[in-house]
Structure 1
Amino acid sequence: MNMPAPPIDNEFPSHGRIAAVDYGTVRIGIAVCDPDRILASPLEVHPVTQPDAGGYEADETYFQKLAAEERIAAWVVGLPIHCDGGESDKSVQARQFAIWLSQTTQLPTRLFDERFTTVAANQKIRQAKTTRKKTKQRIDAIAAQVLLESFLEACRYRGEIAGHDATEIAAGGDSLVD
């Protein structure tokens, strides 16, 4: 018999490591910061176990283990927003993933506008002069790093946690444009 998951304390912690996720249906880029939230680094690109089935749920053990091994205190999931502030099917998928991730790991999860992270990631990779193969393998993790750096900077600038709680706007419709 499946027992319901205990409620998640959605209070985003003021300290500890954060992991950022650049969600994709085939690959998921992951970056982490130090416990003092000063430096963000790309960690890895995780291939979705069942991409054809849209089945990130099969990756439950992976994310639970990652959270424990990396001592993650909270997650930030990139929310793809159009330049005009509108959302797409990818936005809905990212919201669903963020809710699932929060429930799976029992950690608070924020959604944060990820506009231009891939552009910035491509610029970083070009500056690093890596090979085309390495670029393709790392771009999602670099995009997650850019997302995390943007999130951390927004938090410092505002003096409060940026983005929105993934569970508060689960139905969509609320804009994350700040």
Structure 2
Amino acid sequence: MRIMGLDYGDRKIGVAVSDELRWTAQGLTVVERRRDSGELDRLAELVREHEVSEIVVGLPKNMNGTIGPRGEITIAFAEQLGQQLDLPVHLWDERLTTVAAERTLLEADVSRKKRKRVVDKMAATLILQNYLDSITKR
């Protein structure tokens, strides 16, 4: 079974999935958030389609390690997601993952327009890969 990684944002949710051995993370898609919470249905479809058994959601912390308003919103989303999908949902410190994703895309000379389309997916990939690396070290 695979693990899904999510970068939960104000307007978009970056999605990545692991391989079946849980060694590598691959960017999958970006899900647009909706007023009617339709993004939860789309995430449920992706969970079924990719045979996901657990989810990792990036938790935005302040640089001093505290959790601010954005973090509280993310925690509430993770709890709702876990209840709706009946799957374990882990929170993973995502400090600077979007910055790292942006930097990687800049170094690869990706255009600004294309960066905007893929940065959330890449951030989700980094969140998931960091999580996968941490569990294989145990």
Tell me whether the two structures share a fold, i.e. TM-score over 0.5.
Answer: yes
Aligned residues: 138
| Matched residue type, 2:113 | K
Alignment of 1:22-171 (within 5 A): 22-50=7-35, 57-157=37-137, 159=138
Mapped to 2, the partners of 1:108 and 1:130 lie a distance apart of 35
- Offset at 1:141? 0.5
Larger helix fraction of residues: 2
Mapped to 2, the partners of 1:42 and 1:33 lie a distance apart of 9
Structure 2: gaps (5+ residues): none
- Offset at 1:118? 0.9
Larger strand fraction of residues: 2
Instruction: Let me know the Cα RMSD of the aligned residues.
Output: 1.2
**TM-score normalised over the length of structure 2:** 0.94
Mapped to 2, the partners of 1:81 and 1:113 lie a distance apart of 7
Deviations 1:46-69 (A, max 9, x none): 11022xxxx5x3323212111101
Asked if the contact 1:20/1:75 (under 8 Å) is kept, the reply is: yes
The share of aligned pairs that are identical, in percent, is 34
**TM-score normalised over the length of structure 1:** 0.74
Mapped to 2, the partners of 1:109 and 1:72 lie a distance apart of 11
Structure 1: gaps (5+ residues): 1-15, 160-178
- Offset at 1:25? 2.0
